[in-house]
Amino acid sequence: MKHYSEEDLVLHYYGEDRRAAEVERHLQACERCAATYRDIAGTLAMIAAPEAPERGDQYGLEVWQRIRHKLPEQNRSWFFVLRSSFGAVLRSPFDSGIRSPFERRTQNAERRTAFALAASVAVLVVAAFVVGRVWPRTPPIKPAEQTASTDAARRVFVASVADHLDRSARVLTDIMDTAAAGDISAEQQWADDLLIASRLYRQDAVDAGEQSVADVLDEVERSLIEIVHSPSRIGAADLEQIRRRIDAAALLFKVRVLSDDLREREQTPDAARPRTSMRKTS
Amino acid sequence: MDATEAAAVLARARQGDSEAFRALVGQHSRSAFRLAYRMTGNEQDAEDVVQESFLRAYRQLGRFESRANFGTWLYRIVANCSVDLMRAKQARHDQIRGDSLDAVPDLEEQRAAGPERLARSAEIGRRVQRALEDLSPLERAAFTLRHYEGRSIDEISRTLGLGTSAAKHSVFRAVKKLRLVLEPLRGQS
């Protein structure tokens, strides 16, 4: 008789197994699995959700008072500003959904400002067209266009690598935090998922001349490979060895510094271009 | 606030309107606190998580897809902020908390000292709390989302940015550890 694993029975308890009826029939017939299931269910039934202390109706206001002075400047792209401006002009005066006279006045003011901005842009577009027609023809300035599109691509790259580094840092932190030798299959699965992305980003970094980013990604990749290729039920010695390598390379620190660095560059368009070297990390 | 009004408020918040963001804070603070409390098991930590989550949300509003639900998006931020806070706390207290479960007085001993002294359910509750504290932050987060919040494995993996298999294994490992600690108490519950 085929028995169900603890994992299968946990999924059954939470109603997440696809063969619920089959498992149920088996539990009727198999005392061994039924006993394990009773243990699991009995233990989980003891764990009741903690009652969160009550928060009153004014709680939202309290939170707001605590955070309002800490709110940073939001990063708004030109595309967003233009889109919202044109959106404000094109919006029907009857579809606002705003009810109070104050809000209506505010919206009218917004619409006037937006209209002025949209009109200015339209005038500029027409002027540019006319000037373009009468101006002596010169070869298109390809390098400038190329720079703009390269910058956009670089910003996307910077943001993606920063996200990737944050995820990698989590796996590494998990490995560093694991209490003792044991099952690391969850971390391995996660590291495996990250590995392919890491290779692609490293290649992109090399192509983009971001050598310092490529170097850190290379180190991350080596640690991820080591984690993936370790036994799932890792022994204390193997675990300690992985940790020592992560520690010796100050890898977590480098990953966090680089991630912060990239986030900073992401916020500052001019700074999205490659830096010759990363901030000193050791 | 109906759906149209909520969408309008969200659109204004995305354009940098802090009053609109204030309305979002007002609308979602209590649910954010409830989740943060379940994740961290501590009132002060939950308060910190709520604040940090709204600050993160504000910073990242530009990346938020307007078609998505703000509540769902904030839920993920709160869950991940909680994991970050638990990690930071664990790293700080790892050495101090070497005694962990050993520090909990033996139940038999307490009952022998005075059977009426402690309500057994309260003692079990404390043990559960202590056992949860001994889980890794990811295990605890995955378990909380599955057991308390009733989220499916797929939802947990999306919320915590894990693969499905990693989310499943985090729940399994949490259950396994909790069984080890709590099973001896079962007969007494």
* B69 and B108 assigned to the same domain: no
Q: With contact defined as beta carbons under 8 Å apart, do A178 and B154 qualify?
A: no
Q: Which of B44, B78, B112 is the last residue before a domain boundary?
A: B78
- The model's pLDDT over A149-196, given as tens digits with 9 standing for 90+, comes to 667 777 778 888 888 888 888 888 888 877 666 778 778 888 887 877
Q: Is residue B87 part of a domain?
A: no
Mean pLDDT of the A40-63 span = 91
- A233 forms bridges with which residues in the sheet? A183
* B31 and B104 assigned to the same domain: no
Q: Quick one: DSSP state of residue B147?
A: I
Q: Name the minimum distance, in Å, from the CA of B112 to any CA of chain A.
A: 23
Quick check: helix, strand or coil at residue B150? coil
Q: Which residue of B has its CA nearest to A63?
A: B51
* B119 and B67 assigned to the same domain: no
Q: With contact defined as beta carbons under 8 Å apart, do B53 and B29 qualify?
A: no
Structural domain that includes position B35: 1-78
Q: Is residue B83 part of a domain?
A: no
* B66 and B40 assigned to the same domain: yes
- The H or E element spanning position A60 is helix A59-67
Q: Name the minimum distance, in Å, from the CA of B165 to any CA of chain A.
A: 7
Phi and psi at A234, nearest 5°, equal -80, 145
Q: Is residue B30 part of a domain?
A: yes
| DSSP line for B91-107 | HHHTTGGGGGGGGSPPH
* B66 and B142 assigned to the same domain: no
How much is the mean pLDDT over chain B?
83
pLDDT at B81: 93
* B107 and B185 assigned to the same domain: yes
Mean pLDDT of the A126-151 span = 63
| Cross-chain CB nearest to B26 (options A50, A61, A98) | A61
Q: Is the pLDDT of residue A140 over 90?
A: no
Q: Which of B28, B50, B78 is the last residue before a domain boundary?
A: B78
* B101 and B60 assigned to the same domain: no
Band of residue B177 on the pLDDT scale cut at 50, 70, 90 = very high
ipTM: 0.82
Residue with tokens 């796996």: A171
pLDDT at A137: 58
| B22 interaction partners in chain A (CB closer than 8 Å) | 64, 68
Give the pTM.
0.54
Count structural domains, chain B: 2
| Cross-chain CB nearest to B147 (options A47, A84, A96) | A47
Mean pLDDT of the A58-82 span = 74
- The model's pLDDT over B63-83, given as tens digits with 9 standing for 90+, comes to 777 667 899 999 999 999 999
- The model's pLDDT over A184-224, given as tens digits with 9 standing for 90+, comes to 877 888 888 787 778 878 888 888 888 888 889 988 888 88
Cβ contacts of A173-179, under 8 Å, gap ≥ 24: A173/A252, A173/B87, A174/B136, A174/B138, A175/A227, A175/A239, A175/A242, A175/A243, A175/A246, A176/A243, A176/A246, A176/A247, A176/A252, A177/B87, A177/B90, A177/B91, A177/B94, A177/B136, A177/B137, A178/A239, A178/B136, A179/B134, A179/B136
Q: Is residue B179 part of a domain?
A: yes
pLDDT at B100: 42
Q: How far apart are CA A101 and CA A89, in angstroms?
A: 19
Q: Which of B37, B53, B78 is the last residue before a domain boundary?
A: B78
Q: Is residue B19 part of a domain?
A: yes
Mean pLDDT of the B149-176 span = 94
Q: How far apart are CA B80 and CA B82, in angstroms?
A: 5
